[in-house]
């Protein structure tokens, strides 16, 4: 899916509407709202969903109001390339992530941004239902909005 065939002035509103529904209600803003060419592809694997997005720099925010509208009950593991991504959730901050992964919980508010470095960001997202991860929630919460390395261990397997 892409918005590149739309007139430039319609690209951002189209993309903002798309991300306000998928994967969960959130708001999107951008300094590049005049022209916002973006691409997405989604692979639905029953309980797990994988999506790839490429877009210009933007700021995103998920609030309690969005969570009340729709809560998919999933963790989102995001691999970031291109331009770095920053995520803040539960008083934890990922810092700028590029070439690594970051985990966040779509059942809690978060804020994220891609700084404008003159190029698009590329993310591959894996959404996993919380009940599919056999880990105590308090242990998972310590990992939220933290950079997860793709240089060794399971991170290297997922990041390759």
Mean predicted confidence (pLDDT) in 28-52: 89
CA proximity to 110, closest of 48, 58, 56, 64: 64
Determine the straight-line distance between the first and last CA of the chain, rounded to whole angstroms: 24
Question: What region, left, alpha or beta, does residue 15 occupy, with left being phi > 0 and alpha being psi -120 to 50 degrees?
Answer: alpha
- Can you give the C-alpha Rg of the chain in angstroms? 15
State the fold for domain 8-159: Jelly Rolls (2.60.120)
pTM (2 d.p.): 0.86
Q: Which tokens is 148 given?
A: 């997860």
So what's the pLDDT on residue 153?
Answer: 64
Cα torsion 75, 72, 30, 79: sign? positive
| For residue 35, pLDDT beyond 80 | yes
121-157 residue pLDDT tens: 899 999 999 888 878 888 888 889 998 877 776 666 6
CA torsion through residues 43, 132, 70, 90, sign: negative
Q: Where are the domains of the chain?
A: 8-159
């Amino acid at each position: 899916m892409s918005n590149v065939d739309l007139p430039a002035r319609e690209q951002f509103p189209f993309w903002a509407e798309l991300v306000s529904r998928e994967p969960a209600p959130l708001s999107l803003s951008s300094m590049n709202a005049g022209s916002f060419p973006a691409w997405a592809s989604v692979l639905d694997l029953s309980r797990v969903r994988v999506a790839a997005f490429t877009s210009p720099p933007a700021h995103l925010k998920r609030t309690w109001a969005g969570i009340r509208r729709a809560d998919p009950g999933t963790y989102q593991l995001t691999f970031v390339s291109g331009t770095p991504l920053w995520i803040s959730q539960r008083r934890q901050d990922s810092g700028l992530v590029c070439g690594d992964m970051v985990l966040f919980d779509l059942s809690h508010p978060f804020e994220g941004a891609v700084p404008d470095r003159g190029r698009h960001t590329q993310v591959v997202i894996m959404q996993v239902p919380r009940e599919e991860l056999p880990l105590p929630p308090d242990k998972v919460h310590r990992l939220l909005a933290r950079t997860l390395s793709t240089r060794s261990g399971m991170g290297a397997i997922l990041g390759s």
